[in-house]
Amino acid sequence: MPATMNRRVLLKSRPVGEPKPSDFEIADAPLPKPGDGELLIRTIWLSLDPYMRGRMNDVKSYSAPVELGGVMTGGTVGEVMESHHPGFQPGDFVLSYGGWQTHHVAKAGAAPGPFGPLKLDPRVAPISTALGVLGMPGMTAFVGLYDIGQPKPGETVVVSAAAGAVGSAVGQLAKIRGCRAVGIAGSQDKCEYVVKELGFDACVSYRSADLTTALRDACPKGIDVYFDNVGGDVLKAVLRLVNPFARIPLCGLISQYNATELPPGPNFGPVLVNRVTIRGFIVSDHADRLPAFLAECARWVREGRLKYREDVVAGIDSAPAAFIGLLRGQNLGKMLVKVSEDPTRR
């Protein structure tokens, strides 16, 4: 029976420190009505990503915060239920930016970009991968490593949050480029996954008693590229081991997303003496790389050279707890909410 209500997760209060379930409110609303040029979309998959923590704060960033009482923002893959645009039919699968809710209306015909509305072909790859290895996180790994990190065969590439959506792709892309790939992750289990299943050369837990020594052992020729997903103490340890002319794509700082006070910064002495390049980047600035990313990474996924794992919870009501868990490192691979049935996976 077609749904008559739209179930939504709203931002109820701005978290101080770690988000709590009470910072979210789950509420039903009537189904939205699409106008001219618009689509009504039933969400199948909702992506949960660390950047959403920043959107819960009322501070200036590279994009606007979620309003109090507003629907939490997020990338989605869904099925078109009703189309008022000639380019889309009911039953089409689309990537869009529907947010934490069961249904939404999207403007079709707006310039399609890496974040939609983009029609997906389930014969090319499972549609959920448009939120993971073949979506924003995969493209972040591709652009951040290849364009900004510029790894050369034989170099050592280190990546933190190595068992997550971005990090797991970074290490595999480093291997494809002929580099030594070393992961840093939060547990021995994650390290085992990264080495045994994804083919990294080594992985160390940042909870080990002496991270610098563990990293030095894993990187006997020093570190040429550090793909930083976490900042903080891990960055400090890495900086002690960088080689001359090392590159550091600064992708994320998840160790401080819940911080109420910023930690003291790292010592930049090694950055100066080794002439290290550190460059922050935001994947949405690199939309021109979408065709190259999709062509190469879709092929590597098909060939089994770029593996991925999805960590799935069921139902829109599960989103707040799963998001809190993501920030605590409870996910392995890409964190997804299965909001409704995926007809391509029956």
Ligand X SMILES: NC(=O)c1ccc[n+]([C@@H]2O[C@H](COP(=O)([O-])OP(=O)(O)OC[C@H]3O[C@@H](n4cnc5c(N)ncnc54)[C@H](OP(=O)(O)O)[C@@H]3O)[C@@H](O)[C@H]2O)c1
Which of the ranges 30-38, 164-172, 212-220, 262-270 carries the binding residues for ligand X, by CB under 6 A?
164-172
Q: Which of 39, 44, 276, 283 touches ligand X (CB under 6 A)? A: 283
Question: Quick one: tokens of 313?
Answer: 């919870």
Instruction: Give dist(CA 256, CA 260) in Å, integer.
Output: 8
Is 98 a binder of ligand X (CB under 6 A)?
no
The number of helix segments (H) and strand segments (E) in the chain equals 9, 15
Nearer to ligand X, 198 or 251 (CB): 251
Is 172 a binder of ligand X (CB under 6 A)?
no
Q: Which of 31, 95, 159, 165 touches ligand X (CB under 6 A)? A: 165
Q: Shortest Cβ distance from residue 86 to ligand X (Å)?
A: 33
Nearer to ligand X, 221 or 279 (CB): 279
Is 251 a binder of ligand X (CB under 6 A)?
yes
Is 282 a binder of ligand X (CB under 6 A)?
yes
Q: Shortest Cβ distance from residue 334 to ligand X (Å)?
A: 6
Is 326 a binder of ligand X (CB under 6 A)?
yes
Nearer to ligand X, 81 or 327 (CB): 327
Is 171 a binder of ligand X (CB under 6 A)?
no
CB of 160 closer than 8 Å to CB of 206: yes
Is 50 a binder of ligand X (CB under 6 A)?
yes
Is 96 a binder of ligand X (CB under 6 A)?
no
Residue with tokens 């580099």: 179
CB of 136 closer than 8 Å to CB of 47: yes
Phi and psi angles of residue 78, each rounded to the nearest 5 degrees, phi first: -145, -175
- Tell me, rounded to whole angstroms, the distance of Cα 281 from its chain centroid: 14
- Tell me, rounded to whole angstroms, the distance of Cα 132 from its chain centroid: 7
Which of the ranges 23-31, 298-306, 322-330, 338-346 carries the binding residues for ligand X, by CB under 6 A?
322-330
> Hey, is 292 helix, strand or coil?
helix
CB of 45 closer than 8 Å to CB of 336: yes
Is 164 a binder of ligand X (CB under 6 A)?
yes
Residue (of 37, 36, 74, 40) closest to 55 by Cα position: 74
- Tell me, rounded to whole angstroms, the distance of Cα 161 from its chain centroid: 11
Q: Which of 118, 281, 298, 317 touches ligand X (CB under 6 A)? A: 281
Residue 225 belongs to what H/E stretch?
strand 223-227
Counting residues that bind ligand X (by CB under 6 A) gives: 31
SS3 of 145-168: the string is HHHHHCCCCCCEEEEECCCEHHHH
Residues that bind ligand X (CB under 6 A): 49-51, 137, 140, 161, 163-167, 185-187, 190, 206, 229-230, 234, 251-252, 254-255, 281-283, 326-327, 329, 331, 335
